[in-house]
Amino acid sequence: MFETANPLRHKIFTEIVGAAISLIAAFPAQAIGNPICPAQLQPEVEKIVRSPKLNPSRVGVFVQTTESNPQVLSNIDGDHYFVPASNIKLFTTAVALKVLGADYQFTTSLVSQSLPNAQGELEKGLWILASGDPSFSSSTSLKSLVSQLKRLGVKRINGGVWASSSLKGTEIAGSWEWDDLQHYYGAIASPFTIDDNVLEWRLRPASTGEVAIFEWTKPMYASSWRVDNQVVTASASDQSAGKSLITGVDTSRAYPDKVLLIRGQIAENAKPMSGQVTVPNPKEHFLKLLRQELLAQGIEVRRSDATSQNSFDESISYKKLASHSSPRLSDLLVTANQDSSNLYAELMTRAIGGRANATESEDSFSAGLKQITNYLQSINIATDHVLPADGSGLSRHNLTTPRAIVQILNHMVKDQNFRNSLAIAGVSGTLANRFKDSAASGLLRAKTGTLSGAIALSGYATPASHPEVVFSILINNSNLTTRELQQYSDAIAILLTRLTKCPK
């Protein structure tokens, strides 16, 4: 998942993590030091796990080599269940590559029962057929589709504009927490996704004592929303106002109502702050944006009458008028893993389900989870070691073991598309601001994960003087902050980069 609990604090959180991780101070002996032999790894890991602050928590660690007969170098509760947070994406994306293929592309098409007539009219309406492209945008993808219509000579659409998809069923995992649905990382996984299914806004200070100025980034797209803005502009000389830049501005909404509530203070000299709110009905929103783009490009839309067909009839022959393809799956995986996009992972899960021979009563989400389980079983990963409740890790009902995570990583060890999708320590993605100026910078490719009281870090470590190792570090049931928990997981990860071959 995206690794913060509040979209307003995403940028601030990232900066804090980058500046605050100080492993030298926290673990002067264990994390930074001389090379260690493989036989020394387990006791060194145990020293960190036995840290007093971790006593109430559950810690799982599993490390092994990538040889044909792998050697386990560290195992602490490696076969016990943990909530993996976004590490569940490792299973989702690996199976997506194997089932759908690296070259798979999501397609979005505009179809009608006939081509435009001599007057440029389309009779019996226009249909958009969506497959759940997570990268589909209003600024490029939608404009391209409508431009293709215009080049065909379409000037008027009679019978309305409609939407359909081969994907069906659940768009929200039933085990997601209600509060998550209002934040950008809980966007609905609809086949009619556009602009990440969120609306962006900005807030900037006014004069001291006045209400701050709220603006939608694209006001036309948010015309049906109501904003209750009670953010007050405070004097820059007021120290308490300075603190409010981090903790004094909060947003909420009564999901699924289109009412955004904003409270708090912002200093008069503060830079504009930004945020996002999720769209409660993506299909309705998608069609609204499509109609607006049609009008913007000079194509008139006439509403359908009461007798018009408004359900897609697969028995009818339709003419494809325009189409748009997403980037290759191998490229989309970078957003899913490096940026930890829940939406991308969830739509990949549904695409996996759409590829399956699901029954009429089975939705694409359930079929996707079943396909993931079936694939893992086919490569000898015990089905009771991976219990997915969603494809992204946002659900607190996901369960897996550190060993199972290492197994899927080992299975994908030679798949360069998969490896390229993982963040590099101190360089990219959710690890860009972690491990900087440490022994691990550039030597780890890994997937992060964060939920309240739980973190995860799993991937590949390439020590300078030892063959590559695969690892999984999970910490659950903690009352420590994410920053503190990361210090412990990062200290263990740094140990892996110190591994060296030693005489037996």
DSSP 190: -
pLDDT at 33: 66
Least confident segment among 207-221, 274-288, 353-367: 353-367
Rounded average pLDDT over 238-261: 69
Is the distance from CB of 420 to CB of 102 less than 8 angstroms?
no
Q: Would the pLDDT of 246 be above 80?
A: no
The per-residue pLDDT for range 201-232, each reduced to its tens digit, is 999 999 999 999 999 999 999 999 999 999 99
Alpha carbon 408 to chain centroid, angstroms:
19
Cβ atoms of 340 and 430 closer than 8 Å: yes
For 1-17, the pLDDT digits (tens) are 445 434 444 443 444 34
Question: What is the average pLDDT across 336-343?
Answer: 98
Read off the pLDDT of each residue in 165-175 and give the average, rounded to a whole number: 90
Cis-peptide, bond into residue 256, ω within 30° of zero = yes
Looking at the predicted structure, is the pLDDT value of residue 182 above 90?
A: no
Task: Give the 3-state secondary structure of 217-232.
Answer: CCHHHHCCCEEEEEEE
Per-residue pLDDT of 136-156, as tens digits, reads 999 999 999 999 999 999 999
Lowest mean per-residue pLDDT among 57-71, 223-237, 303-317: 303-317
Does 350 score more than 60 pLDDT?
yes
How many helices and strands in the chain, by DSSP H and E?
13, 21
Inter-residue contact 382 to 126 (CB < 8 Å):
no
Predicted confidence at residue 22, as pLDDT, reads 39
The correct CATH number of 7-87+386-497 out of 3.40.250.10, 3.40.710.10, 1.20.1440.20, 3.40.50.300 is 3.40.710.10
Lowest mean pLDDT among 167-181, 219-233, 246-260, 264-278: 246-260
Instruction: Say if residues 267 and 249 touch (Cβ distance below 8 Å).
Output: no
Question: Could you tell me if 487 and 475 are in contact, meaning their C-beta atoms sit under 8 angstroms apart?
Answer: no
Distance between CA atoms of 39 and 311, rounded to whole angstroms?
65
- 16 phi and psi angles, rounded to 5 deg: -65, -45
Q: Given a cut of 50, is residue 295 above it in pLDDT? A: yes
Residue 352 has pLDDT above 70, yes or no: yes
Specify the pLDDT at position 178: 85
Identify whether the C-beta of residue 109 lies closer than 8 Å to the C-beta of residue 320. yes
Q: How confident is the model at residue 243 (pLDDT cuts 50, 70, 90)?
A: very low
The backbone torsions φ and ψ at residue 101, rounded to the nearest 5 degrees and listed phi first, read 100, 150
List the structure tokens of 367.
């079929």
Query: Percentage of the chain with pLDDT > 70?
Result: 89
Residue 29 pLDDT class (50, 70, 90 cuts): very low
Encoded amino acid at 88, one letter: I
Residues 442-455: tens digit of each pLDDT: 999 999 999 999 99
Are 459 and 442 in contact, with CB atoms under 8 Å apart? no
| Predicted pLDDT of residue 198 | 96
CA distances from 400 to 85, 380, 492 (A): 10, 15, 20
Evaluated on CA atoms 186, 188, 191, 194, the torsion sign reads: negative
Cα→Cα distances 323→53, 136, 212, 311, 390, Å: 55, 12, 43, 20, 30
Contact partners, residue 168, CB within 8 Å, separation at least 6: 363, 364
**What is the per-residue pLDDT for 357?**
64
CA distance 244 to 261: 17
Q: Which of 241-250, 326-335, 493-502 has the lowest mean pLDDT?
A: 241-250
pLDDT at res. 19? 38
Q: What is the pLDDT of residues 111-139, one digit of tens each?
A: 999 999 999 999 989 999 999 999 999 99
Q: Is the pLDDT of residue 264 over 50?
A: yes
What does the pLDDT read at residue 13? 40
Closest CA to 241 of 268, 261, 211, 280: 268
What Å distances lie between residue 419 and 386, 458, 459, CA to CA? 21, 12, 9
| Pair of tokens at residue 310 | 């408004």
Q: How confident is the model at residue 358 (pLDDT cuts 50, 70, 90)?
A: low
Asked if residue 20 has pLDDT above 90, the reply is: no
pLDDT tens string 409-438? 999 999 999 999 999 999 999 999 999 888
> Rounded to whole angstroms, how far apart are CA atoms 76 and 9?
34
- The pLDDT assigned to 303 comes to 74
pLDDT score of 241 more than 90 = no
Q: Which of 199, 177, 389, 351 is nearest to 282 (CA)?
A: 199
- Write out the DSSP string of 422-466: SEETTTSGGGTTSSTTSTTTTTEEEEEEEETTEEEEEEEE--TBS
Classify residue 27 by burial, with Cβ atoms within 10 Å: 0-12, 13-18, 19+: buried
pTM over 0.85: yes
Select from 90, 171, 98, 170 the least CA-distant residue to 352: 98
Rounded Cα distance, 419 and 193, in Å: 27
Give the right CATH number for 107-171+281-325 from 3.40.1280.10, 3.50.80.20, 3.40.50.150, 3.20.20.120.
3.50.80.20
What are the residue ranges spanned by the domains of the chain? 7-87+386-497, 107-171+281-325, 178-278
By CB atoms closer than 10 A (0-12, 13-18, 19+), residue 109 is: middle
Peptide bond into 84 cis (omega under 30): no
pLDDT of residue 217: 95
Distance CA 25, CA 31 (A): 10
**Mean confidence (pLDDT) of the chain:** 89
Q: Are 183 and 7 in contact (CB under 8 A)?
A: yes
Give the torsion through C-alpha atoms of 411, 415, 416, 422, to 10 deg. -40
Average pLDDT, stretch 261-284?
93
